[in-house]
């Protein structure tokens, strides 16, 4: 009888241990959100105060740009360009947010340094978008921004496009050595907005004002083929 009780206790302990281990792993699982999934919500401190994402941004497009560290030259060049273009993004209903795994104090010193650089260019722009303190990797875990590096984790250089319905619409990643093209990021948002608003497709190398593609036809004779290169390649102009 005593042996049986000991076995039950041992089995119960093993079940409890495995359950706790599973819960711990589940809590720390980091994966990249799939397209059209809800953008993971988070609360964080930033250079512009406490942020509730995405709730604070209402019916706007949101772009999250992740960085591995402050004061890195490539990332600095990107944020300087974002500062120069921040009004252009505002004009197309886009809010910019920068995520870095350094703390808020270092973020503030980085912002001050970058604004001094802009001042020297005779372009005295203030950086109005927030730099988020992700020193505990909370945002990094939720967005799959972290990659193992020498026994620790490093935030990857990603760009996450989130629409007004708070759905993830596009994600891109860049290596440490190559700066992101801010004009391309802006073009991506405009292309996504254009496709959604007009129920069309956007072809290769598209620029605002170019012809767009009609959705893939349900049948061969869905469109009048004589006006197009092929029944599945139907270009059209958008009303201005």
Active site annotation includes 101: no
Residue from 103, 116, 88, 110 nearest 46 by CA: 103
CB 234 within 8 A of CB 201: no
The tokens for 86 are: 């921040």
Catalytic residue, chosen from 63, 64, 65, 75, is 75
CB 206 within 8 A of CB 221: no
Catalytic residue numbers, as ranges: 75
């Amino acid at each position: 009888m005593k042996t049986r009780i000991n076995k039950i206790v041992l089995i119960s302990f093993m079940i409890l241990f495995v359950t706790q281990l599973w819960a711990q792993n589940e809590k720390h699982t980091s994966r990249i959100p799939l397209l059209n999934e809800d953008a993971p919500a988070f609360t964080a401190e930033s250079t512009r105060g406490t942020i509730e994402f995405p709730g604070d941004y209402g019916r706007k497009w949101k772009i999250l740009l992740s960085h591995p560290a402050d004061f890195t030259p490539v990332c600095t060049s990107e944020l300087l360009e974002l500062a120069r273009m921040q009004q252009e993004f505002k004009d197309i209903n886009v809010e910019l947010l920068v995520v870095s795994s350094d703390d808020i104090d270092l973020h503030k010193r980085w912002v001050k340094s970058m604004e001094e650089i802009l001042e020297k260019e005779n372009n005295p722009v203030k950086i109005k978008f927030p730099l988020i303190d992700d020193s505990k990797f909370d945002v990094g875990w939720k967005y799959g921004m972290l990659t193992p590096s020498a026994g620790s984790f490093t935030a990857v250089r990603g760009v996450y496009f989130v629409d007004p319905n708070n759905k993830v619409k596009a994600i891109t990643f860049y290596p440490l050595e190559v700066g992101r093209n801010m004009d391309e990021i802006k073009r991506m948002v405009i292309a996504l907005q254009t496709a959604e608003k007009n129920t069309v497709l956007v072809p290769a190398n598209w620029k605002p004002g170019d012809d767009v593609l009609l959705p893939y036809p349900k049948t061969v004779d869905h469109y009048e083929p004589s006006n197009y290169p092929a029944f599945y390649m139907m270009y059209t102009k958008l009303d201005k």
